[in-house]
Structure 1
């Protein structure tokens, strides 16, 4: 557990929860699920002694629930935000050093390695870009002079903010370019959430690249598309992302209303106005991710429809060719059938030129039919169709 006392130009770190709130600045108490779950009552009592605020049992249970959706709730003393962040490569409990490899501990990812081929078709295979959509909840408790965060271990966003604060602890106050510190628990909350949302924005390019690859494979006439399960899994993952963004947007909307209600009847200060600007920016980022996920989902459906349309078109081309061949041979079959009748007296039957006259008439019928089909545009090639 990390405890930071953040004031206007100073950051101090402590290993123990203080017994009272500071006169200036605010507290940031950061804990993991394991630390809280080890003794929830003792942890809650320590928070109560430090902040004078009692955390309710349902909210404590929600903070320890690994499957809790993005959500906002408030009481007279504090507000609670649950925000689902991206996991490291879809694996829980993975240290930051393992960002570039698949973890072997914690929750297992269904994503295959980059060189995996289509031989392993018995298992669900989710592309690497989509396997990163696994999420975990981070719980924020916003109090008047304290921000409390509860999350799984190895959160990149929280680790990055913690590192910057530690660097500020070791930086001289006379530094020419000091980092601007958060001025309130709400400011720190929005900085953390904004950084988490930016991770979702970074997924847009790999997701788009993967969808473009599938669209080319679906429309490639040289090889049939067989990776239908991966495409179905991708659509399922995108639907999860859409639902996740909708929950996040609703939670941020309720948080914004909570901030507005807190300042109701009070003259709006520049700091309060800045908070509303920040939360509107976070909501706009979430909306961008949501719209992009919906566009990708729609693109998958459109690509599948185009695929089946292309297959139907190729089938029609084959059937048209076979129909033309059948139509050409029908009069020839009629002629050969007539001359194959068992009559003793038939025209041209005993004529020395009868065979060649029959073959010539058959060739003439074919030429006439080809000219007729050409004028009726039955024999136009695909190249001419593209023009």
Structure 2
């Protein structure tokens, strides 16, 4: 577990006496990963208690170690706990319960998530995250590379360090949500590929298993965003009801929480639009297939209608009678063939007038 001491001017990594630094001002950030906590949960809890003076409850200790825990918020008299599911760096292929790999496109395969737990205590933020977390690593680097610069008036230039554990947590949450926003373009491109494949008349679509898996992943993203939004809403209500800081500090926290919730809503709305668009593409696909089948059946019906009178004539002349009109006439065959041709031409004219037949040119014009 790494310990950061953060004040207005600098951030120190693993100070020798964190309690003394905490008494001097600023706050502490205790950063651990899931492997460290899972190796010895009791030892990790004891270490946190020695530094903060606060003991983590047993149920929350289990929640911290649970890699399948959904996003949620809980508050106690000693601390507040936020669990937020973030995108993982690894792109492991999804598998079903039977062990069969699912055919998920690359864009949707990036939706693998893992929980990040935040414990907000007095002047202390405790985080438990995956061993590989781009968001947390970038935040750590920014803190360590920060250089305090002030002009003659005492005002700082550029960015500033977080002023409280709540602000640091909200910065991390905002960066995690931005990872979801980065997926909007590849997800949209994947949806466009699905739509072209579904509506391509030259090649029948048969990759229904991958399409079903994609819809399942989009539904998971929808549920994930709803859980994240609910957790942030409960955190916002808790800060509104219990925060006893200055009005400016409270307003700043509320602004940051609202910004995180607004980003979550954007991801949620985008996921719902993608799901609705994919559903519309499937419906259009089946409508196009039904229309194509109807066109084929209409063509076959017209061909059948054209040959019905011809079949009738050939059936009549195939009767076994000795005396029949034109049967022994020298030009009877040609008269019959001409009559059959005239019948076909008249039927074609009638079908065209009734718009039963349309050539390709007329379809392009329409």
Both proteins in one fold, TM over 0.5: yes
Q: Give yes or no for the alignment of 1:144 onto 2:122.
A: yes
Q: Partners of 1:33 and 1:270 in 2: how far apart?
A: 35
Aligned-residue offset at 1:384 = 2.8
Q: Secondary structure at the match of 2:211?
A: helix
Change beyond 3 A, Cα 1:190–1:17: farther
Q: Secondary structure at the match of 2:347?
A: helix
Q: Give yes or no for the alignment of 1:204 onto 2:184.
A: yes
Check whether the contact 1:28–1:146 (CA below 8 A) recurs between aligned residues. Answer: yes
Q: Secondary structure at the match of 2:23?
A: coil
Moved more, 51-60 or 327-336: 51-60
Check whether the contact 1:89–1:131 (CA below 8 A) recurs between aligned residues. Answer: no
Aligned-residue offset at 1:49 = 2.2
Q: What are the superposed Cα offsets for residues 264-295 of structure 1, whole Å, 9 maximum, x if unpaired?
A: xx575212101101100100110111111111
Q: Secondary structure at the match of 1:139?
A: strand
Query: Which among 212, 225, 232 is matched to residue 205 of structure 2?
Result: 225
Q: Give yes or no for the alignment of 1:291 onto 2:269.
A: yes
Check whether the contact 1:32–1:152 (CA below 8 A) recurs between aligned residues. Answer: yes
1:163 maps to which residue?
A: 141
Q: Secondary structure at the match of 2:311?
A: helix
Aligned-residue offset at 1:324 = 0.6
Aligned-residue offset at 1:173 = 4.6
1:109 maps to which residue?
A: 93
Q: Secondary structure at the match of 1:153?
A: coil
Aligned 1:1-387 pairs, distance under 5 A: 1-14=1-14, 18-19=18-19, 21-90=22-91, 108-110=92-94, 123-168=101-146, 171=147, 173=149, 177-263=157-243, 266=244, 269-381=247-359, 383-385=361-363, 387=366
| Greater helix content | 2
Check whether the contact 2:5–2:15 (CA below 8 A) recurs between aligned residues. Answer: no
Q: Partners of 1:161 and 1:350 in 2: how far apart?
A: 103
Aligned-residue offset at 1:41 = 2.1
Change beyond 3 A, Cα 1:155–1:315: same
Aligned-residue offset at 1:151 = 1.1
Q: Which runs of 5+ in 1 are unaligned?
A: 91-107, 112-121
- Paired residues in the alignment total 356
Change beyond 3 A, Cα 1:16–1:42: farther
Q: Which runs of 5+ in 2 are unaligned?
A: none
TM-score of the two chains, using structure 2 as the length reference: 0.93
Check whether the contact 2:93–2:102 (CA below 8 A) recurs between aligned residues. Answer: no
Q: Partners of 1:378 and 1:173 in 2: how far apart?
A: 81
TM-score of the two chains, using structure 1 as the length reference: 0.88
Aligned-residue offset at 1:296 = 0.8
Change beyond 3 A, Cα 1:16–1:380: farther
Check whether the contact 1:17–1:47 (CA below 8 A) recurs between aligned residues. Answer: no
Check whether the contact 1:211–1:296 (CA below 8 A) recurs between aligned residues. Answer: yes
